[in-house]
Structure 1
C-alpha cells in the first residue's frame, strides 16, 4: 500500500488502522505472538503476520462463496462422523438454504485490489465495539438493550466438534449429567469426536474472558430467542463446513472460535455476520492423530518458572484485584524468556505450512516456500 492510515488500536497480534468514523478499517497482522493472554512475547516470528492475513482472506473467500455450501451434507466426512438425523434436519433449514444462495456474510472487503494476497493486510467494514462499563463491580451491558446493529456481539462463540484430553468443557462440567443436558447430551460424553457440534460461549469485552451459560449469554447480549437460535445454528454450520474443508486436507478439526457482529438483513430484522478473522490460532487441529497447532509454544512456556509466577499472579488478581501482568512483572519479578532456535523455527513453520495448504485449496497458489507443507512439517517436527 502506498500510505498506511494511523494506528487506531494495537492488539497483541494485530494492529487496527484507520479512524473511528471511517466506513472501513485496515487490519495489519504483525509477527508478534501471544500465549496465556500475556500479550506480546519476546520473539517475533518471521512472516507470521502475512500467514495470518492469508488465512483470513482465504477463509472469508471460502465461507462467503455459495459454492462452498452447495454439497456440504453430501460430504462423507460429515456422514461418517455426525448424527444422520441431525445432519438431515440442518440440511433443510432456512439458514442453510440462505448460505447456499448468498454465502456467509462477513466484514472482509476482499475486492480491494491494492491489498495483495501475500501482504499482512486485510481491509474490513468498520463495526462498533460497545464496551460495557463497570458499575458497582459488575459489567453493565444495558447498551445492548437498544438492539444495536453494525456492532460486535459481546461474546466469543466457541464450537466443539470433539472433546480432546484436557478440554475446558469437560473440566467445567465434569460428570454432572444435568449440566451436560443443557448442551443437548443425554449422557456424559466420552473423549473423541461428538455426534453434533456443541456451541459454547465466553465473554469477549470484559477484562478477563469467562465462560458463561446460554441464559447469561442471551442476557448480556440482549438477544431474543430467535436471534440466539440463529447464532447457534450459523455457528454449527460454519463448524461443519470447516470440518469438511479440513478433512479434505487430511486434518481433523476438533474445535474453534469465532466472533460475529449484529447486522440488519433485507427484511429489517437483526442477523449476524462473521468478523475478526479465522486461522490456525482460532482452531484446534489434528494431523494424523497428533496436534497441529501452536500448542507446543504453550508447552514450551509451561516448563518455565515464568509460567508458575504467571498462574500465581492470575490467582492474586482474581482474589485481590489488579492486573495480573503487572503483578507478575513487579511482585514476582518474572517475564517470559525468548524461544530457543528449534522452537522458533517450528513456530514459523507451522504458520507457513498451514497458510500454504489453505491458500492452495482456496486460491490455487502457495504463498510461502514449497518446503512449507503438512507432510514436510510432520516429518520434521511431529
Structure 2
C-alpha cells in the first residue's frame, strides 16, 4: 500500500492511520507485541504484523461469505460437542438465517493485497467514556449511537481450561455460576453450552462486567442485547468448526463489534477490529498453540512480580500501573532470549499459513512454517 495516511493513533501493537472524519482508515499491524497489558515490549517479532493482517483479512473474508455459514448446524463436530437445545435455538434464529443469506457484516475493505501489514477498514466512531478519577461515565451511549464501537470486549468460552480466569473469578460461589446459566459448578473441559462473558473495552484496564452492567453501560435494549449474544455464539461455533478442520481445537476467544442501523427501531452489529491468534485460545494435539508461552516466559521474573505489585497499588491509590512499576519499582521487562523469540515468530507464521491455506488455498510464508513441524519442535 502506497501513500499511507498519517498515524491517527499508535497502539501497543497496531497503528491506526487516517483522518478522524474519513470514511475509511488503515490498520497498520506492527511487529510489536504486548503481554499483561504492559504495552510495547522491548523486542519485535519478525513479520508478525504481516501475519496478523493476513489472518484478519482471511477471517473477514471467510465469515463474510454466506456459503461458509450454510450447513453449520449439520456439522458432525458441532453436534458432537454442544447440546442439541443450545444448537436448536441458534439454528432457528433470524440472525443465522441472515448470515446464510448474506454473510456476516464486517468493517474490512478487502482487496487482493493480502500479503501486507495493512488492512483498510470502514471508519467507526470511538466514544470514550469520561473518567472523573473514580468512575467512567457512559451516558453518551444512552443516545443510541450508530456507526460506533460497542464499549465492550466480548468473550466467548467454548470450554474451561485448567486455570482459566473465569473459574478463578467465580470460584465456588454457585450463585455466580447460575448467572451464566449453570445449575452446578462446571468442571474443566469443553462446555455443552458455551459462555458469553464481557469486559470493558475503553477503560485503562480490563474490568469484567456482569450482564446487567454490560447491557447498561453500552445502552442496549433487550432485543439488541439478545442479538449481540446470538452473533457471538454463531461466530464462536463457526470458528470452532473452522479450526477443527485444521486439526486445532478452539477453546475461547474475544471479538469487538460496532453498532450499525438495524430494523424496527433496533440497532444491529458489525464485526470490527480483527481476529487472529492473539484473540484465540487454541490447542494442537492437546497442547497450547498460542503466544501463551511468552507470558509464561515472563512469569516469575522480577519485572512480573513488580508489575503485579504495581497493579495492586493502583487499586488502592489510583494511577497508572505501568508508571508505578517504572517509577516506584524501577522495573521493566527484559528482552527475549533468541530461542523464545524464534518460537514466537514461528507460531505466528505457522498459524497464518494454516489459515490462508484453508481460506485462500495458498501460503504467504515458507513451507517450514506449518503446524506439524511447529509441534515437533516446540510442543
User: What TM-score do the two structures reach when normalised by structure 2?
Assistant: 0.98
Q: Give how far 1:220 is off.
A: 0.4
Distance between the aligned counterparts of 1:53 and 1:135, measured in 2? Answer: 36
Greater than 6 Å deviation, 4+ residue runs: none
Q: How many residues were matched structurally?
A: 379
Distance between the aligned counterparts of 2:32 and 2:264, measured in 1? Answer: 42
Q: Give how far 1:266 is off.
A: 5.9
Of 239, 245, 258, the residue aligned with 1:242 is: 239
Cα deviation 1:16-69 (Å, max 9, x = unaligned)? 000001000000000000000001001100000000000000000000010110
Once the two structures are superposed, the pairs formed by residues 279-358 of structure 1 within 5 Å of their partners are 279-358=276-355
Query: SS at 2:115's partner residue?
Result: coil
Distance between the aligned counterparts of 1:197 and 1:245, measured in 2? Answer: 17
Cα deviation 1:136-171 (Å, max 9, x = unaligned)? 621110000100000000000000000001111111
Alignment match, 2:125: 128
Query: SS at 2:278's partner residue?
Result: coil
Alignment match, 1:108: 108
Cα deviation 1:95-133 (Å, max 9, x = unaligned)? 11011001100000013x5xx111000000000000000
Alignment match, 2:60: 60
Q: Give how far 1:84 is off.
A: 1.4
Alignment match, 2:191: 194
Distance between the aligned counterparts of 2:138 and 2:89, measured in 1? Answer: 34
Cα deviation 1:341-361 (Å, max 9, x = unaligned)? 100000000000000000000
Alignment match, 1:40: 40
Alignment match, 1:257: 254
Once the two structures are superposed, the pairs formed by residues 145-156 of structure 1 within 5 Å of their partners are 145-156=142-153
Once the two structures are superposed, the pairs formed by residues 87-98 of structure 1 within 5 Å of their partners are 87-98=87-98
Aligned-residue RMSD, C-alpha: 1.0
In the alignment, is the contact (CA less than 8 A) between 2:223 and 2:266 conserved in 1? no
With 131-140 and 321-330 compared, the bigger mean Cα shift is at 131-140
Cα deviation 1:271-300 (Å, max 9, x = unaligned)? 000000000000000001100000000000
Distance between the aligned counterparts of 1:153 and 1:93, measured in 2? Answer: 22
Q: Give how far 1:267 is off.
A: 5.7
Distance between the aligned counterparts of 2:177 and 2:105, measured in 1? Answer: 31
Q: Give how far 1:269 is off.
A: 3.1
Query: SS at 1:39's partner residue?
Result: coil
Q: Give how far 1:185 is off.
A: 1.0
Of 201, 206, 211, the residue aligned with 1:209 is: 206
Query: SS at 1:297's partner residue?
Result: helix
In the alignment, is the contact (CA less than 8 A) between 2:156 and 2:196 conserved in 1? yes
Distance between the aligned counterparts of 1:283 and 1:342, measured in 2? Answer: 23
Distance between the aligned counterparts of 1:219 and 1:236, measured in 2? Answer: 21
Distance between the aligned counterparts of 1:241 and 1:196, measured in 2? Answer: 15
Alignment match, 1:168: 165
Of 199, 216, 222, the residue aligned with 2:219 is: 222
Distance between the aligned counterparts of 1:88 and 1:270, measured in 2? Answer: 24
Distance between the aligned counterparts of 1:137 and 1:314, measured in 2? Answer: 16
With 55-64 and 311-320 compared, the bigger mean Cα shift is at 311-320
Query: SS at 1:281's partner residue?
Result: helix
User: What TM-score do the two structures reach when normalised by structure 1?
Assistant: 0.98
Change (3 A) 1:226 1:268: closer
Cα deviation 1:326-368 (Å, max 9, x = unaligned)? 1111111111000001000000000000000000000111010
With 130-139 and 252-261 compared, the bigger mean Cα shift is at 130-139
Change (3 A) 1:352 1:136: closer
Alignment match, 1:269: 266
Q: Give how far 1:268 is off.
A: 5.5
Q: Give how far 1:197 is off.
A: 1.5
Q: Give how far 1:89 is off.
A: 2.1
Distance between the aligned counterparts of 1:64 and 1:212, measured in 2? Answer: 29
In the alignment, is the contact (CA less than 8 A) between 2:82 and 2:193 conserved in 1? yes
Distance between the aligned counterparts of 1:348 and 1:214, measured in 2? Answer: 37
- Structure 2, unpaired ranges of 5+: none
Alignment match, 1:365: 362
Alignment match, 2:116: 119
Alignment match, 1:26: 26
